[in-house]
Amino acid sequence: MTQRTTASAAIRARLKHPVIDADAHMIECGPIYFDYLKQAGGPKLVERYLARQKAGGWYGLSPEERLRQRVARPTAWSLPTRNTRDRATAMLPRLFRERMDDFGLDFSIVYPTIALVHVREEDEELRRGACRALNLMNADLYAEHAARMTPVATIPSNTPQEALDELDYAVGTLGYKAVFVNSNVRRPIPEVAARAPELARYASWMDPLCMDGPFDYDPVWARCKALGVAVTAHAPGTGYGSRVATTHYIHNHVGSFAAAGEAFAKALLLGGVTQRFPGLNFAFLEGGVAWASEMYAGLQSHCSKRNPSQIGNYDPRHLDEREFLALYDQYAGELARFRPDPSDPTFFPVGMHWREDDSIGHELDNLGIRSSEDLARLFQAPFFFGCEADDPLVSVGFDSRLNPYGSRLKAMFSSDIGHWDVADMEQVLEEAWELVDHGLLDEAQFQEFTFANVAMLHAGMNPDFFKGAVVGDAVAALMSAKEEEIPAKEA
């Protein structure tokens, strides 16, 4: 193929560092996939899969039924069609590799597309078989392109055991170096399931795997760390809470990945996972980084005031009742006839002053959080955030004036190539460079965004992640420099 000079290629040519795409997408070819599904689960599983598709879901219901059952409007028309070459590129790894120089990309980490649906499948046999088939297929399709791209394994995670089984197979047997899990599992509310099982699917909650759930996922995090794979999350928040519009996909989609990322990140931190598994990296994809900056600031505010050394400021037993009543008598005026008894549980309404709730004062005890600095340690080191090329709020993550303690959050260039968000694959790096053109990032920050942060996410877990890739030497040099920085900072 004759090399063309695109705007993205011209930008890449001026950079002194490689560009790694943290989140490209492939589009599955049905006939090929069904052949692997038959291999993974047999002909009957293929029949069940096709029958499920024919049932139609949202499309199989009338507008009245969608409203009555509150079925969220799903995605549709979500893949490129007018740009036929881009559509084929997302389906054919060889064509993708051939065009990568035009895209300005040195290396791509490629996620499946239908996996975003499969990990949420309620039928366990179908869920596990569908994910296994994807992993088998993509291991074969991308094997010859390891120098420029690597596929990501799909890990179903409705239970810890199925996640462990697929981790061992995908990483241990098939050789995957990157994985993603379903970070929000829909669970029935137990009381409803017990009293009215037929209605349980309509009364559910979102389990972020690390907070008040029915399973202990620590063995999963331990296995990921032992296998040297970062935990990446790529599940949307559609169908939960306010994102259940039955007629409007955009309403359900905007902010959905950010909402899911926030739920998972908070659960990981407040559930103690980042404390129990230091060195295990987590990435939240497609939601950007602005939500994380807001969440970090909110957590800092809460944890600086509600940690064990400060929570006593709000213990109702510390109220000086005599002083309070004296002030009340002095300033209440006409309200004096309502003179309260501070020991009465109704002194403040709706339990806000409940004296016997000692547990509220110990939410952070097991996390070792005694100050805002402790929170920073648990939040900043392990978290990475995937941002699409046209997201101007990437700059929020790098703005040390906004983030607590002058922090910079680890935003990563994540193209979303293959999906409707990218109208032209040749423009993704060009769009990302607008952050520099508009003065939102400087060139050093652009290097972190498009290279260093994604390199650290994966090479920080597995030093051989990029071995043999065209970016291998650059990543090795980066990681060596980072190791030298650590003793310097400690000194």
Q: DSSP characters for 43-96? A: HHHHHHHHHHHHH-GGGGS-HHHHHHHTPPP---S-S--SSHHHHHHHH-HHHH
- What is the mean predicted confidence (pLDDT) over 221-228? 98
Res 2: pLDDT? 47
Task: Specify the 3-state DSSP secondary structure of 206.
Answer: strand
- Residue type at position 228: G
Give the pLDDT band (50/70/90) at residue 304: confident
Instruction: Tell the residue number behind the tokens 């990501």, with chain if given.
Output: 152
Give the pLDDT band (50/70/90) at residue 129: very high
Q: What is the CA radius of gyration of the chain?
A: 25
| pLDDT tops 90 at residue 484 | no
pLDDT tens sequence across 24-38: 999 999 999 999 999
* 233: nearest Cα among 204, 263, 212: 263
Least confident interval from 48-57, 381-390, 432-441? 48-57
Least confident interval from 60-64, 260-264, 376-380? 376-380
Burial of 294 (0-12, 13-18, 19+ CB in 10 A): middle
- Residue type at position 218: D
Task: Specify the 3-state DSSP secondary structure of 197.
Answer: helix
Q: What percent of the chain has pLDDT over 90?
A: 70
pLDDT tens sequence across 162-211: 999 999 999 999 999 999 999 999 999 999 999 999 998 889 999 999 99
C-alpha atoms less than 13 angstroms from C-alpha of 101 in its C-beta half-sphere:
8
* 370: nearest Cα among 307, 277, 313: 307
Task: Check residues 483 and 106 and name the one with the higher pLDDT.
Answer: 106
* 97: nearest Cα among 22, 29, 32, 147: 147
| pLDDT tops 80 at residue 482 | yes
For the chain, the maximum distance between any two Cα atoms, rounded to a whole number of angstroms, is 90
DSSP 286: S
Instruction: Tell the residue number behind the tokens 């409705």, with chain if given.
Output: 158
Integer Cα distance of 248 and 236 in angstroms = 16
DSSP 439: T
Give the strand order in the sheet containing 231-233: 153-155, 179-181, 231-233, 282-284, 383-387, 410-413
Task: Check residues 456 and 309 and name the one with the higher pLDDT.
Answer: 456
* 413: nearest Cα among 399, 427, 431, 432: 432
Integer Cα distance of 403 and 171 in angstroms = 36
Res 487: pLDDT? 55
Res 218: pLDDT? 98
| pLDDT tops 70 at residue 489 | no
The pTM of this model reads: 0.93
C-alpha atoms less than 13 angstroms from C-alpha of 270 in its C-beta half-sphere:
20
Q: How far is CA 299 from the centre of its chain?
A: 18
- What is the mean predicted confidence (pLDDT) over 345-350? 68
| Domains (range + CATH), the chain | 7-305+379-490 (3.20.20.140), 311-363 (no CATH)
Res 357: pLDDT? 73
Q: Are 448 and 457 in contact (CB under 8 A)?
A: no
Res 351: pLDDT? 60
| DSSP string covering 135-193 | HHHHHHHTGGGTTTEEE-EEE--SSHHHHHHHHIIIIIIS--S-EEE---EEEE-HHHH
Integer Cα distance of 398 and 406 in angstroms = 9
445 Cβ neighbours under 8 A, 6+ residues apart: 398
Task: Specify the 3-state DSSP secondary structure of 109.
Answer: strand
Partners of residue 185 on adjacent β-strands: 207
Kindly report the average pLDDT of the chain as a whole number: 92
Res 428: pLDDT? 97
* 258: nearest Cα among 152, 108, 387, 131: 387
DSSP 4: P
